[in-house]
Amino acid sequence: YAFVTKIKSNGLIDASFGNAGLVEFPTYYTFNDMMFELGTNKLIVAGMKGTNVATIARLHTSGFMDGSFGNLGSTDISTVNSSTYYQIEDLNIDQSNKYIITGKHYTTSGTSTFTQVVVMRFDANGAIDNTFDSDGKAYYNYLATGSHEEGRRIFANTQNEYYICGASY
C-alpha cells in the first residue's frame, strides 16, 4: 500500500497524524514524491494508483484526502491500454502554480518494448491541464523509438520552462 507518515523533529512518530502517525492508501500502489502546497501547508503527493494509473493527490495536514482536489482528493490518469504502464518519479510546481510530474511511460508487449519520458501537468484544483500538449500529457524519446528513457526530476524556471533530468539507454 502507498502510505504517508509524519515524524516529529525528535524522531518519534507523530500519533496525531492519520491513524497513530500513519495513513495507508490500500487502493494505491505507491507514492514516490511529496511537497507542501504553497500557502495552504497541505501535502501534494504523486505516484501510481496502479501500474497503469498515474496519480496526484492532496492531503490535509491531518493526513487524510482533501475532497475538494481532483475527484475526491486525487486525479488518476490511466494509460491507453493494458500493456502500457507509468512509473512516476518526481513532482514539482511551476510559476503559475501548476503541478508537474515526470517519470516514464513504458510498454512490455511484443517486440516493441520501450520506455519514454512522460510529463503531466495539473491545475491547482487537481484537474489535468489540457493546455499542455493538448491533453495534459507529453511523451518524449530523445534517442529514438525503441530506446529506454525516463524522467527522474523536474524543475520549472521563472519562465515556466521545464528542465528534466533522468536516464537514457
118 touches 105 (CB < 8 A): yes
- pLDDT tens per residue, range 56-80: 999 999 999 999 999 999 999 998 8
Cα 56 versus chain centre, distance: 5
**Overall average pLDDT of the 116-122 stretch:** 95
Identify the pLDDT of residue 147: 74
The answer to whether residue 114 scores a pLDDT higher than 80 is no
Joined together, the cell numbers standing for residue 118 give 512522460
Residues near 156 by beta carbon (within 8 Å), at least 6 away in sequence: 92, 93, 94, 95, 100, 162, 163
Question: Could you tell me the pLDDT band of residue 45, with boundaries at 50, 70 and 90?
Answer: very high
Question: Could you tell me the pLDDT band of residue 144, with boundaries at 50, 70 and 90?
Answer: low
Q: What percent of the chain has pLDDT over 70?
A: 95
The answer to whether residue 111 scores a pLDDT higher than 60 is no
Exposed / middle / buried, residue 50 (Cβ in 10 Å: 0-12, 13-18, 19+)? middle
